[in-house]
Amino acid sequence: MAQWTPDAIEEQTGRTALITGANSGIGWQTARVLAAHGARVILAGRDRTRLDTAAAAIRAETPAADLATLVLDLGRLDSVRSAAAQIVYGGPVDLLINNAGLMNIPERRTTADGFELTFGTNHLGHFAFTALVFPALRRAPAARIVTVSAMAARWRSGALTDLMSDQRYRPMTAYAKSKRANVVFTIELARRLAGTAMTAVAVHPGAALTNLQQHTSGALIRRLIPLLARVAMGSPEGAAWPSLYAATSPDARNGAFVGPAGRRQDAGPPAPTRLPRGADDPTEGAALWTDSERRTGILFTT
């Protein structure tokens, strides 16, 4: 089978894509490509000025791009509710790409609602947002929900215990937990969407230098990052390919985990890859779903 590239993306005119964290990095690259293929793209992010700058950069490449912006802070449930309400009162959403994320926050911090910041943003914020915009997804003919995880979802330290890091906080352990939760949530969502025209797919982008590395601690590591980017990391453009494949390819399957097909899965054309061990366990999926509803106070009815 031929390797997938964005050249395979069919015309997206008439479809609406909603992308979180779309003002930079992988999210912006995903928005840029979908807009170039005719989709109406809603760029969601925390800062209005950065969103406007990101939209202007896309229009510089694609003057006819159909773009809108949405202020969304996944670390504040009031912002999640407000942003979701704007979407639900609009038209159908064909593609929801849960892309935004935090990584390697040096010290334990909390969201406005008291959740550990990394888990609260990367998982709980997206869980709540997906639940609240679900009526708009249901109105589309065959909506897709793509959630961006990471290779860290496979780490042993990512076990879904002590979710708020109350007992012990380690930056990359909190990240690994949030990324495993992204996959477990997606598989549970896919299970609940079985028999419908809707699809839920988890992806990981491999390794790419993006704004996620801004919190990396240590002067030596920060100096090494540009070298690592040239030697071992892919580009944000290439790292967007798994999201684009999951959003547009007719071969993307409900409940799949998609990542780069390279030997180390750090770069290369996208393809289905193995799930983190146990991520498809219905017991873990149901437990995370119930816990997420309890913490956010938002019931997610599919």
Tell me the pLDDT tens digit for each residue of 143-158: 999 999 999 999 999 9
Q: For the purposes of burial, counting CB atoms within 10 Å of the CB of 194, is it exposed (0-12), middle (13-18) or buried (19 or more)?
A: exposed
pLDDT band at 1 (very low <50, low <70, confident <90, very high): low
Number of C-alpha atoms within 13 angstroms, CB side, residue 267? 13
Strand partners of residue 271:
259
Residue 286: pLDDT above 90? yes
Contact by Cβ (8 Å): 51, 100 = no
Alpha-carbon distance of 152 to 93, in angstroms, equals: 29
Element housing 71 (H / E) = strand 66-71
pLDDT band at 229 (very low <50, low <70, confident <90, very high): very low
Residue 240: pLDDT above 60? yes
pLDDT band at 251 (very low <50, low <70, confident <90, very high): very high
pLDDT band at 206 (very low <50, low <70, confident <90, very high): confident
CA neighbor of 77 nearest in space, from 120, 116, 44, 47: 120
Assign 266 to helix, strand or coil: coil
pLDDT, average across residues 193-205: 97
Assign 146 to helix, strand or coil: strand
Assign 68 to helix, strand or coil: strand
- Which domains are present in the chain? 12-295 (3.40.50.720)
pLDDT at 235: 74
CA neighbor of 206 nearest in space, from 164, 169, 166, 235: 235
Q: For the purposes of burial, counting CB atoms within 10 Å of the CB of 249, is it exposed (0-12), middle (13-18) or buried (19 or more)?
A: middle
Q: Exactly one of 89, 169, 175, 245 is catalytic; which is it?
A: 175
Residue 279: pLDDT above 90? yes
Higher pLDDT, 224 or 178: 178
pLDDT band at 268 (very low <50, low <70, confident <90, very high): confident
175 assigned to active site: yes
Residue 227: pLDDT above 90? no
pLDDT, average across residues 89-103: 97
pLDDT at 222: 44
